[in-house]
Amino acid sequence: TTQPEYLITRDDIHAVLSKIIKPDDSIALLSDFDGTLGRICPNPVLTAIEPAAKDALEQLVKRSNIFTGIISGRPMADLRKRVGIDNCTYSGNHGMEIVFTNKTEFHYPITTEMYANCTKLKSILMAKYVTNAAPAWVEDKNISLVFHYRFVPEHLQEAMIADVSELVRKYGYNPVPAHAAIEIKPPVVWSKGHAALLILNEIYGSGWEKNIRVIYMGDDTSDEDVMEMLKGKATTFRITDNPGLETHATYRMQSVDTAVFVLDWLVNNTN
């Protein structure tokens, strides 16, 4: 299938943005965090928001015609701390947790059985795969897990991914590929895409797609849910260094630097 345009240069991005956004438009800027506003690094505790992204966001949150929201796989509290900007809506755990600027919170209901399975799954994964020989590790996000395998020798990774995915499915959870990791999500019909729609409906009311310009940027498989669900209602950018990657996004672009360029463009070209 034909894939969307791969925007390489700043001129490419400028040309696209100036076509879709006029200075006085009402804009909803939604973004992913890791790999979009902060660079992917070996350990999630080391990730910080790119200083230029923070500078731009700090200016954008003050604009009355711009709404900003960040939707991440990280737990909400961790995300909020790492971004560190007030007047921004935060959604964590792949959309299952949301906190609006007026402090209203949304939590997708997780059953006791799901919590119990998550705990069981964690201890089985730890016992089976977190060894000196295969230094994988499990990130516990309370209602979801991440199995990180970056430091597992490459020749062991493929079989390990298959085994872990099978085990996750056995416990009714969903394994989703991520950067050197498997995101382990609870069996619920709720994604970053559902969170994006909930946020937009909450902020603007139904029918927002007629008069709000929505932008979404993200770099991972879980961001594809937003790109698919907002098709025709938003302009979405998939960040990837793989020119052959298939995506639901409107455009593809290369890196955190290009995401920062989008933020700076909004600062300089909107009122």
Strands 137-140 and 145-148: antiparallel
Q: Pick from 64, 36, 23, 49: which is nearest to 266 by CA? A: 23
Name which position in 180, 197, 198, 267 contacts ligand L263DTV3 (CB under 6 A).
180
Tell which one of 8, 10, 22, 41 touches ligand L263DTV3 (CB under 6 A).
Answer: 41
179 is a site residue for ligand L263DTV3 (CB under 6 A): yes
Q: Does 183 bind ligand L263DTV3 (CB under 6 A)?
A: yes
| Neighbour count for residue 39 (Cβ, 10 Å) | 15
Indicate the SS3 state at residue 85: coil
Please, what is the Cα angle at 226 between 218 and 239, to 5 degrees? 20
- Shortest spacing between CB 138 and ligand L263DTV3, in angstroms: 11
- What's the angle, vertex CA 240, arms to CA 48 and CA 182, rounded to 5? 70
Single out the residue of 63, 150, 233, 248 in contact with ligand L263DTV3 (rule: CB under 6 A): 150
Please, which residue, 21 or 180, has the CB nearer to ligand L263DTV3?
180
The answer to whether 95 contacts ligand L263DTV3 (rule: CB under 6 A) is: no
3-state DSSP assignment of residue 236: strand
Are 89 and 100 in contact by the 8 Å Cβ rule? The answer is yes
Residue closer to ligand L263DTV3 (CB basis): 34 or 114: 34
Decide: is 32 part of the binding site for ligand L263DTV3 (CB under 6 A). yes
268/271 Cα distance (integer angstroms): 8
52 vs 180 by CB, closer to ligand L263DTV3? 180
Q: 3-state class of 115 per DSSP?
A: helix
97 in contact with ligand L263DTV3 (CB under 6 A): no
Judged by the rule CB under 6 A, the positions of this chain that interact with ligand L263DTV3 are 32-35, 40-44, 47, 72-74, 139, 141, 146, 148, 150, 178-181, 183, 220, 222
